[in-house]
Amino acid sequence: MITSLTVYSFDPGFRHGALICSEFLQDHTKKEVYLAQLTPIFIWSQKTSDGIRADSPALEVFGFMEKILQQLSGFPPGSIIIDFDPKSVYWRPLKLQSVQLGIMVGYFSHGLLGKGFSTVFLTPREIRLFAGMKQNTKKEELHTWIRSQLDLSDFEGMLKNADVLDAVILSYVFASAIVRAPHERTSKHPEDSVSSS
């Protein structure tokens, strides 16, 4: 049986990051997924100078998150996978960047609830474990891995942006976890197959 699944993913950052929408075809017999469509919703980078600084005031961070949330207008609600470890704020409370990123993601998540979206957090460690890699594996190796898992030839232009490729990895891990999980579990709460919050 083949079904489709739409997944949103958010690779957050101050000076650069990406929010994308991925549509997968799920082959439940082979337990595999295929990327059918990729839609960048909002991408920011140092080149376009539309990001923020790690030491930006909270109001500026909130304003930037509102700008990103507005980009979701017209998109149907669904699960948004976020690359973030909530515990990092507690592990490194004195590191400004960790705290600011926690504020950013927290505000974004709260805004998503008001729009009918649900959030699922995938930590860097969980992503690497899913890929069968060590916790300290470099991101470049993850990029090589995802290209071995998916045919990305139709999307190479968009994937020149590393943040978009990182967001595709998030979407793929989520979609794969669902298709590999028992049907009776995923039919009700698909986000239970990975860490959710």
| 150-183 pLDDT, tens digit each | 999 999 999 999 999 999 999 999 999 998 886 5
Report the C-alpha gap between 99 and 118 in whole angstroms: 22
State the amino acid at position 153 in one-letter form: S
Taking alpha carbons only, the member of 171, 153, 74 closest to residue 115 is: 74
Report the C-alpha gap between 87 and 142 in whole angstroms: 22
**Domains along the chain with CATH numbers:** 2-193 (3.30.420.10)
Relative to beta strand 17-27, strand 32-44 is antiparallel
Mean pLDDT of the 54-64 span: 88
> The whole model's pTM is what?
0.85
